[in-house]
A = this chain, B = another copy of it.
Amino acid sequence: MPGKRLSELAALVGGTVRGEGSATITGAAPLGEAGPGDVSFAAGKKHAGLISKTRAAAVVVRDAGGAPDGLNLILVENPEIAFARILGVLRPQTLPAPGVHPGAEVHPGAKLGAGVSVQAFAVVEDGASVGDRTVLFPGAYVGRGAEIGPDCVIYPGVAIREGCRIGARVIIHCNSVIGSDGFGYARDRAKYIKMPQAGIVRIGDDVEIGACVTIDRATMGETVVGRGTKIDNLVQIAHNVKVGEDTVLVAQAAIAGSARVGSRVQVGGQSGVNGHISIGDDVGIGARSGVAQDVPPRSIYTGYPAIPHADWLRAQNVYSKLPELKKKIAELEKRIAELEADKAEKE
């Protein structure tokens, strides 16, 4: 790992050095694990206690408060973003070089942009196009007429089915599937007749999609994931779903068919959203929740069926005391019976 001077890193993120700008930084580590040569970062209460004891060579912080006197600092507005940039420089990812590997299969009717990398056993079908500098790792599959924007990274085993549209700077991790058929059938008494799934999936710019994610194509029209949205591993997005911008779907979440999820929404891990409902903008859905009805903007819902988070906390609080409550009721009943007996006696 090549070293960088602290002053160089500070300049990179528009920060100012407190301490020794000439210090050499060779690595990066969390505050509690950092050693000599490592840069780290501190933000929020979680780090407040750790910074006084860190062995890091330098720490990226918003202000010097709490940092011991001898500790080198980079002072910057948003330490987490600055650290992300520094980490990218100290530990750069090596992507495959441009060029089409002789073991790849690119159809003559496909269009490849400048500087594209197509690795061994990747397939680009007829009529598909791949934007400038995009990387297709080994075994990636791009179906007929699919379009991928520039500067994307498509990891091994990803399948992008025919006709789907992927924006710019999109990252798709290994073995995810974009554009599988939606789960739609017509009923013929007990039998299911397949409804053709003739639509596509459209993925906006700057979306990141985890590993083994499945996003189904629309029956007609488009399944949409908006710009900047981040999708964790093993998430399911059904046909005709519309997901807004800068939304986060945590691992194993599932959005059922034709649901709408707004922008700047956070859907917790292992949560589910019913089909044909609508979640407003700026909503938070707790982990392991099941959303059965529309959720208004700027609200937090939890539980199954999901209810406003505060209500859920209250109900949950009583839930664990149900056995006591039951006992209490039995006791009250006894006391009432005594009062009634007493009354009967006197009459």
Interface residues, chain A, with chain B CB atoms under 8 Å away: 28-30, 33, 78, 80-81, 83-84, 87-88, 90-91, 93-94, 101, 103, 105, 119-121, 123, 137-139, 141, 144, 155-157, 159, 161-162, 171, 173-175, 177, 180-181, 183, 185-188, 190-196, 198, 208, 210-212, 214, 216, 219-221, 228, 230, 232-234, 236, 238, 246, 248, 250-252, 254, 256, 263-264, 269-270, 272, 274, 287-288, 290, 304-305, 307, 311, 314-323, 325-326, 328-329, 332-333, 335-336, 339-340, 342-343
Query: Min CB distance, A190 to chain B, in Å?
Result: 5
Closest to A86 in B: B196
Q: Which of B87, B105, B318 contacts A138 (CB 8 A)?
A: B105
User: In the complex, what distance in Å separates the CA atom of A325 from the CA atom of B326?
Assistant: 7
Stoichiometry (number of copies): 3
Report whether A185 and B233 are in contact in the complex, using a CB–CB cutoff of 8 Å.
no
List 10 additional A-B contacts (Cβ < 8 Å) besides A84-B193, A171-B181, A183-B250: A29-B220, A94-B144, A138-B141, A174-B180, A183-B210, A183-B232, A191-B246, A216-B233, A233-B236, A269-B272
Report whether B91 and A196 are in contact in the complex, using a CB–CB cutoff of 8 Å.
yes
Set of chain B residues within 8 Å of A138, measured between Cβ atoms: 105, 123, 141
Q: Which of B101, B105, B307 contacts A320 (CB 8 A)?
A: B307
Query: Min CB distance, A137 to chain B, in Å?
Result: 8
Report whether A212 and B210 are in contact in the complex, using a CB–CB cutoff of 8 Å.
no
